[in-house]
Amino acid sequence: MAEENTNSSTDENSKLIGLVAQFDDPDSLVQACDQARQAGYTKTDAFSPFPVHGIDPALGIKRTILPFIVLGIAVGAVFIGLGMQWYTNGGSLGEFSTDESPVFPGYRFKISGKPYFSLPANIPVTFEVIVLSSAFATFFGMWFLNKLPMLSNPLHRISRFKRATNDKFFLMIEQADEQFDRGSTEAQLNQWGAVSIDECRRDLTDNNLPSWLRLFALMGAILLLLPPVAIFRAMGMTSRAPRLHVVPDMDWQDKSKTQTLSPIMMNDRYLFADERVMRAPVDGSVARGQLDADTELYEGIKSDYVPTVSMTTPQGSVRTGLGTQDEAEAAPPVEDVSMYVTEFPKEITVDEALVQRGQIRFNIYCAACHGYAANGDGLVNQRAIALAGIGKAQWTSAKSLHDATVSNAEKNPLGRIFETISKGRGTMGPYGAQIPTADRWAIVAYVKALQETGIKPVLAVSEEDKSGESEASDANATATTPEDKTRPTP
């Protein structure tokens, strides 16, 4: 192939692009490049398997402007990154302006209490945008400056040239160069030590697609537009047609979903008499670690207590933890408080550690409504009462645990407090699922301790008492004042 090319200088089907000289080592390539530059050639290019030091000045190649393109894009990215964040979340100039953007007010996500547009929080994102844009600018800028992608290059028609990626070095002088002359250039290249010289020719034979193929391609392209058009049309339209099921056996699977009727029919009857999918556990079966047979420990009810009323009475429904709001509104049922334990179960050791544990748990779970001092002045309670006051909420006030009805050990024995925490009472929700049993007893101990120490509402505390109190209870006491006014009389 190569021989054929070099011998036929006047081919009808190809055009001479330039001469490609081969060199055997990088040094002679650099020397040849240098001489070509000195001879006045400007449209030259060198090819080597690896970067050769000094080839750029030898060829007279100017430094690339790529860094400046990247710098420009990076500076632009600063504005894009910051602007995007300002537009999406800020939507206004924050402190500088109170006007909201007329186009888009911004999502206005309040994150960690920071301003909508706060520079420190926005710098990491901006930095990432800069890095990404710079990387793209470098990569695609390099493509653009090298006129890539180039799908075919006439140089690849020279078989010798394939070794440019292996062990040979090439210098090309283009025909478009003003100095170029087929004969004298070849002589010069030989003089500069070229091992061999090839002509680089561009194939001029018709390389257009056949017209029928073009027609097919056009039709194909138009057909490809149809699905998006159909989808676009279907958007925003209603339809009575049933949904298409592309993969029916994924849409209808032979399986039973929880809490449904059984799909399995035998002889026109459901598989199970109760028609349900799910099976109740066998009577008397207990899940691992859930044997809560000790009613004193797990329910606060004396182990020798025998219910004297049926399970369907209001007392009974309290007993099973299904207490509802209706119940609170119903007439208070006569309660048999004798069923509750009055001592801590034997598994619970009552000591300082227990009370301290109870304090921590109380402050986490109970104080939100009942307040840290159990005065019934928790923040949730205050807020709900405030909302209820303007008709925006229904709320039954959380009780002060210092109320006589609550603190009275006769009416409210330990077991009953435990049951209240576990299963809720009135509108108070059950906490048995959130708080482990031992922690609930710890809370009971802490509640009793609070009641024993008898922290009074702040208005009843004298000045001397107040000065002796810690800062923490001071903070609570100030919160008590508004609540006292709104607390309903018992």
- Interface residue with another protein among 24, 25, 34, 45 (CB under 8 A) is 34
- Interface residue with another protein among 93, 123, 132, 330 (CB under 8 A) is 123
Q: Note whether 362 and 368 are within 8 A (CB).
A: no
- Interface residue with another protein among 58, 129, 442, 444 (CB under 8 A) is 58
CB of 112 to another protein, least distance (A): 6
CB of 153 to another protein, least distance (A): 25
- Interface residue with another protein among 66, 121, 350, 388 (CB under 8 A) is 121
> Taking CB under 8 A as the rule, does residue 477 contact another protein?
no
> Taking CB under 8 A as the rule, does residue 352 contact another protein?
no
> Taking CB under 8 A as the rule, does residue 62 contact another protein?
no
The radius of gyration computed from the CA coordinates of the chain, to the nearest angstrom, equals 44
Stretch that binds another protein, among 108-116, 183-191, 229-237, 407-415 (CB under 8 A): 108-116
Whichever of 64 and 324 has its CB closer to another protein, that residue is: 64
Please give the C-alpha separations between residue 83 and each of 5, 65, 92, 454, in angstroms, as whole numbers: 58, 27, 11, 59
Specify the length of the chain in residues.
490
- Interface residue with another protein among 210, 391, 471, 488 (CB under 8 A) is 471
Helix 26-38 × helix 182-191 angle, to 10°? 130
Stretch that binds another protein, among 2-10, 56-64, 128-136, 385-393 (CB under 8 A): 56-64
> Taking CB under 8 A as the rule, does residue 67 contact another protein?
yes
Whichever of 58 and 435 has its CB closer to another protein, that residue is: 58
DSSP string, 113-173: T--SS-HHHHHHHHHHHHHHHHHHHHHHHHHHHTT---S--GGGG-SGGGGGGTT-EEEEE
CA separation for the pair 110, 128 (Å, rounded):
22
Stretch that binds another protein, among 54-62, 237-245, 306-314, 452-460 (CB under 8 A): 54-62
Cis peptide before 115, with omega less than 30 degrees from 0?
no
Stretch that binds another protein, among 55-63, 212-220, 367-375, 394-402 (CB under 8 A): 55-63
> Taking CB under 8 A as the rule, does residue 54 contact another protein?
yes
Instruction: Please tell me whether residue 253 adopts helix, strand or coil conformation.
Output: coil
Whichever of 322 and 475 has its CB closer to another protein, that residue is: 475
Whichever of 18 and 90 has its CB closer to another protein, that residue is: 90
Token digits for 443?
A: 């809370």
Stretch that binds another protein, among 115-123, 270-278, 329-337, 373-381 (CB under 8 A): 115-123
Whichever of 56 and 327 has its CB closer to another protein, that residue is: 56
Residues 6 or more apart whose Cβ sits within 8 Å of residue 261:
270, 275, 276, 277
Angle at 266 between CA 264 and CA 270, to 5 degrees: 55
Q: Which helix (H) or strand (E) holds 183?
A: helix 182-191
> Taking CB under 8 A as the rule, does residue 120 contact another protein?
yes
Residues 6 or more apart whose Cβ sits within 8 Å of residue 450:
373, 374, 401, 402
- Interface residue with another protein among 31, 262, 342, 486 (CB under 8 A) is 31
**Helices and strands of the chain, counted as H and E runs:** 19, 6
Residues 6 or more apart whose Cβ sits within 8 Å of residue 458:
466, 477, 478, 480, 481
> Taking CB under 8 A as the rule, does residue 95 contact another protein?
no
Q: Which residues bind another protein (CB under 8 A)?
A: 27, 30-31, 34, 53-54, 56, 58, 63, 67, 71, 112-114, 120-121, 123-124, 471-472
